[in-house]
Chains A and B, each alone.
Chain A
Amino acid sequence: MGKRASSLPNMVLTLLMITAVAGGSLGFVFQMTKAPIEAAAVAKQQEAIQLVVPDFDNDPAAEMYELTSSEGFPLKVFPARKGEELVGVAIETMSNRGFSGEIKIMVGLKPDGSIINYQVLEHRETPGLGTKMDDWFKPAVVVEGRKEPGTRLLDGFFGIKAGESGDTKNILGKHPGTTRMVVKQDGGEVDAITAATITSRAFLHAVEVAYTTYTERTDAASSATTQYNEEEGGDNEPVE
């Protein structure tokens, strides 16, 4: 097949046609995937909320409001209610003290401030080190008498046991007001992730920020409830 000559009109026309077709098809795919992409983001948020707070029957995403932490970044608060009673809040918090980039976590607090559960939403920590925070701060799962989750093939053969650690890793059920949410190296009460102390610091910092920001706000709110409601009235719409 003979090639077309590389004259200026030929080149301009060819590139114009190719880019036009490319642009058109991208626009089409964008239209097609826009709704599913948004749905996936909402589903992820819902899933995280359901994981970190106990049973609720309202729509926390609809009642979401924002608080500003002492460092100036916004925290999203999702109140979870059963009937009229507040059973807990899911707080989307973050820290930029991580090893690389921001760490975003969803942490669930009881109304009294103790931690129910957490879920890591977004991070760029080192795979295999910082990524362990997904489960590290949760209590060890007992699977058929073993302390670590999952199957351990070599356990039976060689008697190799994964490193035992006490309850000091776990932050679930603890109260940031009474348990210092700082790694042991810094004089706190929580075991840092092996070889990922920076990630652990950032993680605990994010939890701490969520707790202090939320309790400060609710203390202020309980003394002036009406004022608080009026103030927050405009912020109740979901913010992207």
Chain B
Amino acid sequence: MNQWSNFSKGFLKENPVFILLLGLCPALGVTSSAINGLGMGLATTFVLVMANIVVSLIKGFIPDKVRIPAFIVVIATFVTIVEMTMQAYVPALFDALGLFIPLIVVNCLVLGRAEAFASKNNVGSSIVDGAGMGLGFAFALTLLGGVRELLGSGHFFGFAIYPEDYGMLVFVLAPGAFIALGYLIAILNRLKKA
């Protein structure tokens, strides 16, 4: 498979959030600001790439019936490593994402790529797939977070654009996440048709 299309499919053609609708729990939960979305996306990308590498390396040794538990252990290990590393070196970001880092384990995007791609392809393709999908996920989360932050609190990446009092508060809260995601999916579908 052409490595470039393998990489770039994560951004638009098979974007995890906008097209595959995978990993929506963190996508809706943490994206109250653009920076939170970006941080969560990059943490997921790291886990995705590392899990893809390991899964594609050990795929030959794992009996079929226990492949899912084996994948979960690999993913959980990397998530815990990310969690401890963030807590140690970027405590501010850890405070903001806190609860959601352990949830990367159950993000079906990570398990989905391990099962659907890494367990059938070689290491190189798996890295490219993990990076593309992860960055596509980060892109989607940042976009969603940016829209919600801008409409909800008048900020963008923490910079004030207009007075906070005129923001539509609902976009910062959970219902706004669903509304914003729905409109973003609709816009992207329209753009794809054009």
- B74 and A4 contact, CB distance less than 8 A: no
Segment of A59-67, A146-154, A174-182, A200-208 in the binding face = A146-154
Among A1, A11, A161, the residue within 8 A (CB) of B59 is A1
Inside 8 A of A40's CB, which chain B residues have their CB? 87-89, 91
- A155 and B62 contact, CB distance less than 8 A: no
Distance in angstroms from A24 CB to nearest chain B CB is 10
- Per-position contact with A for B168-180: 1 when CB-CB < 8 Å, else 0? 0100110000000
Distance in angstroms from B147 CB to nearest chain A CB is 14
- Per-position contact with B for A1-13: 1 when CB-CB < 8 Å, else 0? 1111111001100
Given A29-B84, A128-B172, A160-B166, are A18 and B74 also a contact pair (CB < 8 Å)?
Answer: yes
Distance in angstroms from B156 CB to nearest chain A CB is 10
User: How far, in angstroms, from A162 to B161 measured CA to CA in the complex?
Assistant: 12
Inside 8 A of A194's CB, which chain B residues have their CB? 165
- Per-position contact with A for B23-42: 1 when CB-CB < 8 Å, else 0? 00000000011000000000
Among A3, A19, A22, A153, the residue within 8 A (CB) of B64 is A3
- B59 and A15 contact, CB distance less than 8 A: no
Distance in angstroms from A14 CB to nearest chain B CB is 6
- Per-position contact with A for B148-166: 1 when CB-CB < 8 Å, else 0? 0000110000011111111
Segment of A30-38, A184-192, A211-219, A224-232 in the binding face = A30-38
- A29 and B85 contact, CB distance less than 8 A: yes
Among B63, B76, B81, the residue within 8 A (CB) of A3 is B63
Q: Does B66 contact A (CB under 8 A)?
A: yes
Q: Does A86 contact B (CB under 8 A)?
A: no
Chain B interface main SS type: helix
Given A6-B66, A40-B88, are A152 and B160 also a contact pair (CB < 8 Å)?
Answer: yes
Q: Does A129 contact B (CB under 8 A)?
A: yes
Q: Does B65 contact A (CB under 8 A)?
A: yes
Q: Does B21 contact A (CB under 8 A)?
A: no
Which among B58, B74, B80, B164 has the highest number of chain A CB atoms within 10 Å?
B164
- B85 and A33 contact, CB distance less than 8 A: yes
- Per-position contact with B for A137-177: 1 when CB-CB < 8 Å, else 0? 00000000000101111110000111100000000000000
Among B32, B70, B87, B166, the residue within 8 A (CB) of A128 is B32
Please list the residues of chain A having a beta carbon within 8 angstroms of any beta carbon in chain B: 1-7, 10-11, 14-15, 18-19, 22, 25-26, 29-30, 33, 36-37, 40-41, 44, 126-129, 148, 150-155, 160-163, 194-195
Please list the residues of chain B having a beta carbon within 8 angstroms of any beta carbon in chain A: 32-33, 58-66, 69-70, 73-74, 76-77, 80-81, 84-85, 87-89, 91, 152-153, 159-167, 169, 172-173
14 A-B pairs with CB atoms under 8 Å apart are A3-B63, A4-B63, A5-B63, A7-B63, A14-B63, A15-B70, A127-B32, A127-B33, A128-B167, A148-B163, A150-B160, A153-B160, A160-B162, A160-B163
